[in-house]
Amino acid sequence: MFNQMQDFVTEQMQAFTGRAQQLKDDPLTAVREGVSYSAETVEAFKQPVRFAARSSVQLSSLAHKTTQELIELQSHLMTASLTEMAESLERVAGATDFASLVSAQADAARRSAERLANDANRAIEIFATAGRGMQEVAVETYQKVATPAEVITPRARKTRRTAKSKTKAA
């Protein structure tokens, strides 16, 4: 990336030097070509800006989807926790002796641990999917924006007939 920036600056300095020499020799032509070159350069920025805008939309959509999935996971976590607490209280109330109480609580703890492991895996899956999506968007955008654009050269000037040449031709 740094080398690309250095190359760009070097090219621009060479172009600037050439323009300065041309400005010294033929100022009107130099100004016309400079303005034409500037217009083409601005025109060349349209495509990278479109790619960046589309990438922003893709990243926003990805962030929205990821947030939605995390909120759904959080809702599931809360619902499952409340359900487990209610079931645990029911088992305590329905226990006939200490051994059945301990057995029921051990079974509940095992199920809770399994649920927590599954929920943690689901959270990791959500973040991994979001990370891959961001990587794809970033790589695609970089490939489209950072690839060297066509070399912009000033348009060929059309020769104009001046008032003097029109009167001589007639």
More reliable by pLDDT, 31 or 93: 93
User: What does the pLDDT read at residue 2?
Assistant: 72
What amino acid is encoded at 86 in this protein? Answer: A
- Cα Rg for the chain, rounded, in angstroms? 34
Whether 122 shows a pLDDT value over 90: the answer reads yes
Per-domain residue ranges of the chain:
64-146
Whether 14 shows a pLDDT value over 50: the answer reads yes
User: What does the pLDDT read at residue 154?
Assistant: 47
In the chain, what is the straight-line distance between the N-terminal and C-terminal CA atoms, in Å?
59
* Whether pTM exceeds 0.75: no
The 10s digit of each residue's pLDDT in 154-167 is 454 455 555 555 55
**46-81 burial code (b ≥16 CB/10 A, e <16):** eeeeebeeebeebbeebeeebeebeeebeeebeebe
Whether 133 shows a pLDDT value over 90: the answer reads yes
Using an 8 Å Cβ cutoff, are 166 and 41 in contact?
A: no
Average pLDDT of every residue of the chain: 82
